[in-house]
Structure 1
Amino acid sequence: MKILITGGTGFVGRRLVPHLRHHHEVTVLSRTPAKVYQQLGHDVQALSSLNELENLDQFDAVINLAGEPIADKRWSSAQKQRICQSRWQLTEQLVEKLNAGTQAPKVLISGSAVGYYGRQGDALVDEDSSPHPEFSNKVCAQWEQLAQAAASEQTRVCCIRLAVVLGPDGGALKKMLPSYRLGLGGPIGSGKQYMSWIHIDDVVSLLLFLLEHEECSGAFNASAPEPVTNQQFSKTLAQVLNKPHFARVPAWVMRLAFGEMADLLLTGQRVMPVRLQCAGFHFRYPTLEKALKETLNP
């Protein structure tokens, strides 16, 4: 297949491309093509702008993973705008190019996040659960709606609602590890809020699964089948690192440091991957302890 990827040099993209490059022709959309060649190799093609293409008829599949990190900075008005536009604008442009041709790609797999559901307490959440209206829901709902505009008899659309992705070289875990390795890690706020998570290898596997299974379309929770509370996550991480676990980060400290963005960490969702499992997908890392051990002690 000929596959176009956005976000190919990001945390997930860097793991995905090596699984595709030996069997498919991969093109990565990036403003800096040199970065693509440096990180992914010269057998991967680079595209600096969609404006170079009239349509996407030359591709069999599109995987859309690009977006400004949502939890890296305080949510100022300008940062909220960057978070939204980095997802919405590119997705809208992709769909316009996809719909402009006569032989559209067979599948568009587009990113989203479990933030789609907003705060959910301890209720079990599946793909049909009603979301709580807040900023994270607004971002993801519009992102998915724009992607779904590509759906047709020719093109199926899959939206993956990613949980916290665990991997050794990026994402949330990379930010957490320094304090935990010093024995200073601990739960955030009450620790009772649920954390949905997924090992990065399972993210890659489910992307390949959705790429290959033509019967799959719609929204899929990209989350391991055993979500845990923040307290459980913190305790398990400390145990895997063989470090003490007595510190705690008060909610007021988080809100002082991060403002509204702190709510992402102080509230949560107990997400279940119902549609993926019904489709026959199997997780290599269904439990947190196994996922963390493989990530930290490969």
Structure 2
Amino acid sequence: MRIAVTGSTGLIGTALVRSLLDDGHEVVRLVRHRGRTGRQDDGTLAIGWNPRLRQVDKGGLAGVEAVVHLAGAGVGEHRWTDSYKREIRDSRVLGTRTLAGALAEAKEPPRVLVSASAVGYYGQTGDRVIDESAPAGQDFLAGVCVEWEAAAEPAAEAGVRVVHPRTGLVLSSAGGAGGRLFPLFRLGLGGRLGSGEQYWSFVSLADEVAALRFLIDHPDLSGPVNLTAPEPVTNRELTASMGRVLGRPTPFPVPRFALDLALGELAIEVVGSHRVVPARLLEAGFRFRHPDVDSAVRAAL
């Protein structure tokens, strides 16, 4: 199968592309730098796009049967200044709008667009168990996710099956939040964040990739699908698991005021609670390799 991927050099994109290539699929990468287009050393084909200018190499998308859209500025990469919040929103909404528009105009559009979203869609939900039937939240990230998902509507209107994987915290030592946490825990400097009672809906990188491929291959799935492990845990439980697996103490809790000083508005997400479960994935028959936190932490190492 010929599959196009945006965000192909990020944590999830890199693992997804590797998985697809290993299974003999042809991968087309959408890249923003013209100097990086053409056939790559790994056999993938890189084509250009510019979301802000609404430009896509439509010829390069010819024959593509599936598109996985992962591109977007990292939520935790910088303090949430007004300008960076605009970047978080624009990188997602403008990119999705550009891609969906190009697919809608294609003579032979792909069968499916898997267009990323996040569990932030639900806002802060405390200890309530949340599945895909829950409404959108009211905070900044919830608003971004609502616009992000809506931006893919032109593709859906053109007959493309559109799926929105609402991903949780991807556990990996290679990048993302895990890439910052694991080194501290290895040194015995880890600890709970804030009260530690907030729920973190995690998923292993391997299960994230497998679930994305599952969404490509299952034509009965469209709309929102939560990509989280079936057993969300509190930050305190995740902290304890990392200590157990690494054989290290976790004596250094980070109080809320310190998070506020260090992270600003982003601290709301760190101490916020999302107890999200993957109801639709489980109903469709997806089987997690790492359903519990200990196995997911081991996999991340």
Check whether the contact 1:33–1:46 (CA below 8 A) recurs between aligned residues. Answer: no
Mapping for residues 153-164 of structure 1, pairs under 5 Å: 154-164=159-169
Greater mean deviation of Cα atoms: 220-229 or 144-153: 144-153
Partner Cα separation in structure 2 for residue 85 and residue 160 of structure 1: 19
1:121 counterpart residue number: 126
SS in 2 for 1:149: helix
Paired amino acid for 1:282: R
* CA positional deviation for 1:24: 2.1
Structure 1 gap ranges (5+): none
Paired amino acid for 1:9: T
Partner Cα separation in structure 2 for residue 277 and residue 34 of structure 1: 42
Check whether the contact 2:56–2:98 (CA below 8 A) recurs between aligned residues. Answer: no
Residues 197/26 of structure 1: CA separation in 2 closer, same or farther (3 Å cut): same
Percent identical residues: 39
SS in 2 for 1:48: strand
Partner Cα separation in structure 2 for residue 199 and residue 51 of structure 1: 32
Check whether the contact 1:30–1:48 (CA below 8 A) recurs between aligned residues. Answer: yes
Check whether the contact 2:56–2:99 (CA below 8 A) recurs between aligned residues. Answer: no
Query: Of 194, 201, 207, which aligns to 1:202?
Result: 207
Residues 151/55 of structure 1: CA separation in 2 closer, same or farther (3 Å cut): farther
Query: Of 169, 174, 188, which aligns to 2:174?
Result: 169
Could you list the per-position Cα deviations for residues 181-220 of structure 1 after superposition, in whole angstroms to 9, with x for gaps in the alignment?
Answer: 2212111111111000000000110111111111111100
Paired amino acid for 2:184: S
Partner Cα separation in structure 2 for residue 102 and residue 156 of structure 1: 16
Residues 1:271 and 2:281 are matched in the alignment: no
Query: Of 288, 291, 294, which aligns to 1:283?
Result: 288
Aligned pairs, number: 295
* CA positional deviation for 1:99: 1.0
| Root-mean-square deviation over aligned CA pairs | 1.9
TM-score normalised by the chain length of structure 1: 0.94
Paired amino acid for 2:44: V
SS in 1 for 2:289: coil
Structure 2 gap ranges (5+): 50-54
SS in 1 for 2:56: helix
Query: Of 57, 82, 85, which aligns to 1:80?
Result: 85
* CA positional deviation for 1:34: 6.7
Residues 10/223 of structure 1: CA separation in 2 closer, same or farther (3 Å cut): same
Partner Cα separation in structure 1 for residue 219 and residue 14 of structure 2: 25
